[in-house]
Amino acid sequence: MRIESGKKYDFSDVLIRPKRSYLPSRKKVTLEREYKFMHSKHVWQGIPIMAANMDGVGTLKMAKSLEEHLLFTCLVKNYQYKDLKEHSLNPEYFSISTGIGQQDLKRLEENLSKYPEIKFITIDVANGYSEAFGDFVENIRGKYPDKTIIAGNVVTSDMTQELILRGADIVKVGIGPGSVCTTRIQTGVGYPQLSAIMECADAAHGLGAHIIADGGCTSPGDVAKAFGAGADFVMLGGMLAGHDEGGGDIITETYTSSRVDNESKEPIYETKQFVEFYGMSSDTAMDKHHGGMANYRSSEGRTVKIPYRGKVESMVLNILGGLRSTCTYVGARRLKDLSKCTSFITVSKQYNDVFEK
Ligand code: 5GP
C-alpha cells in the first residue's frame, strides 16, 4: 500500500483567470475544430461536444438534433442498423456503441456489415483497466482499420497510452465523476476529473491521439474548464438529459404550494414536470436491458427525476454561448486556442449562491 500525496483537482477546485485580449466580441470566436485521428486517418470537422451513450441522451432523435449544430452523439448500445438507416443520420456526427461481450461483438459486426457508412465505434466499459478490454480494442482495430475507435473509460496516462497503442483513436476519460454515477461511493475508486483530463490529454497528445472528458460537467463553465484542461472532446450526460429528444416519459406531479388563494383560502396547487434519468449501471438500466441485476454485482448508478426541459436546442445554444464567452475572457480566437490560453487558479468558492438557499 502507498499514498500519492500530490494534489489532484476537480472542476470545482478551480476557476479560469481572465486575461487581456484584442478579441472584440464573442461572435468572432470559432468553436469548430478539425481533427485527424491517429489510426483511422479520418479527418473530422465539427464542434467537439458529445452526447453520452446513455438512455435519455444517446438517442437517434438527439443525434438528429445535435448534428444540425455539428455536435456529436454516442448512441446507446441497443440500436440496430435498421434504426440507424431509417433516421438517415450523418455518419460524421454519430458513433455506435458496444460492450466487450460475445453478444456485443455479434451485434457490432452485423451493424457494420449492413451499414458500412458507420465511421465511429465506441467501445465502452465502466472499467477500462482490464486486459480483456485492451484485447477487444486491438481485435476491433485489426478488423476495421479505417473506423475511428473511441475506447474507455480510464483516468490515468499509462492506460490512456496502452489503449492508444492497442488501436484507440480517442480515449474516453472519467471514472466516477458522472451525475448519476455512484462508483466512488460503492467502490471508493475514482480520480478528480480536471487532473484526469490534464494528465490523459498530455499522454494522448504526445502520441498524436485524442481524448474525451467524460462526465462531471454541470454547467457551461465546467465544459470550458474541460477544454481548458486539454480535452479534445467533452461528453455530456446529465446536462443533455430531460429534453424532448431523449424520449423519456414526462411525469407531471402536483404540489401544494405555500401560497393560499385570497378568496377561498384554499392552498394553491402547482404542477411540475419531470423526466426520469438513470445511470447505465443502475438497477433501472439493469432491469431494462439485462432483465435485472446479476447477484454478484451491485448498482453503480442512481435513478433520479430531473426537471423536464423541452427542446435540447436551447441547452446547446446556452453551452456554446458560454464557451464563446470563456474564449473572449482569455483571448482565444478559436476553441483550439483555449487550452493554450488557460491559466487555472485554485479557489475555495465557485460562485455566490445567496439566492439559491
Ligand atoms: P454526466 O455528464 O451525467 O456527469 O456524466 C455522464 C457519464 O457518466 C457517462 O458518459 C458515463 O461515462 C458515466 N455513467 C453513465 N451511467 C453511469 C453509471 O450508472 N455508473 C457510472 N459509474 N457512470 C455512469
CA 26 to centroid of ligand 1, rounded, Å: 31
Residue 231 has pLDDT above 90, yes or no: yes
pLDDT higher than threshold 80 for residue 357: no
- Whether residue 140 is predicted with pLDDT greater than 90 in this model: the reply is yes
Note whether 111 and 80 are within 8 A (CB): yes
Residue whose CA is at the smallest distance from ligand 1 atom 10: 52
Contact 218, 336 (CB under 8 A): no
Please, which pLDDT band fits residue 295 given cuts at 50, 70 and 90?
Answer: confident
The pLDDT of residue 257 is: 80
Distance 25 CA to ligand 1 centre (A): 35
The residue annotated as part of the active site, out of 181, 200, 217, 341, is: 181
- Tell me the three state secondary structure of residue 38: coil
CA-proximal residue: ligand 1, atom 16 (nearest): 279
Question: What is the band of 250 on the pLDDT scale with cuts at 50, 70, 90?
Answer: very high
Cβ–ligand 1 contact at 52 (below 6 Å): yes
Domains of the chain: 11-243+312-344 (3.20.20.70), 246-307 (no CATH)
Please give the Cα distance from 109 to 100 (Å, whole number): 12
Which ligand 1 atom is the nearest neighbour of the CA of 152?
12
Q: Is the minimum distance from the CB of 126 to ligand 1 under 6 angstroms?
A: yes
Atom of ligand 1 at shortest range from CA of 172? 12
Residue 247 has pLDDT above 80, yes or no: yes
Please give the pLDDT value at position 101.
96
Query: Average pLDDT for residues 248-274, to the nearest whole number?
Result: 88
200 counts as catalytic: no
Which pLDDT does position 144 carry in this prediction? 98
Task: Give Cβ neighbours of residue 314 (< 8 Å, ≥ 6 apart).
Answer: none
Please list, residue by residue across 49-62, b when 16 or more beta carbons sit within 10 angstroms of its beta carbon and e when fewer do. Answer: bbbbbbbbbbbbeb
Q: 154 pLDDT exceeds 80?
A: yes
Distance 237 CA to ligand 1 centre (A): 7
pLDDT at 163: 98
Can you tell me which atom of ligand 1 is nearest the CA of 124? 12
Q: With a cut of 90, say whether residue 356 has pLDDT above it.
A: no
Cα–Cα distances (Å) from 42 to 23, 34, 38, 175, 326, in that order, read 32, 10, 8, 28, 29
> In this model, does residue 165 exceed pLDDT 90?
yes
- Crossing angle of helices 102-114 and 131-143, rounded to 10°: 20
Q: Is the dihedral of CA 286, 292, 295, 298 positive or negative?
A: positive
Residue 183 annotated to the active site = yes
Give the Å distance between the CA of 269 and the centre of ligand 1. 35
Mean pLDDT of 130-136: 97
CA distance 329 to 319: 15
Confirm or reject: Cβ of 293 under 6 Å from ligand 1: no
Residue 258 CA to residue 245 CA, distance in Å, equals 33
> Which atom number of ligand 1 is nearest to the Cα of residue 238?
3
State the residue for C-alpha cell 485527424. 36
For 285-294, the CB contacts below 8 A with 24+ separation are: 285/55, 288/55, 289/77, 289/78
Q: Which of the residues 73, 98, 122, 183 is marked catalytic?
A: 183
Q: Is the shortest distance between the CB of 180 and ligand 1 below 6 Å?
A: yes
Q: Can you read off the three cell numbers belonging to residue 274?
A: 419531470
Question: Quick one: pLDDT at residue 81?
Answer: 87
213 Cβ partners below 8 Å, 6+ apart?
Answer: 173, 174, 193, 197, 226, 227, 229, 231, 233, 234, 235
Give the mean pLDDT of 235-262.
Answer: 92
What pLDDT is stored for residue 303 in this prediction?
97
What mean pLDDT is reported for the chain? 95
Ligand 1 pocket, 281 CB below 6 A?
yes
Could you give the angle at the alpha carbon of 131 between the alpha carbons of 129 and 137, nearest 5°?
A: 90
Q: What percent of the chain has pLDDT over 70?
A: 100
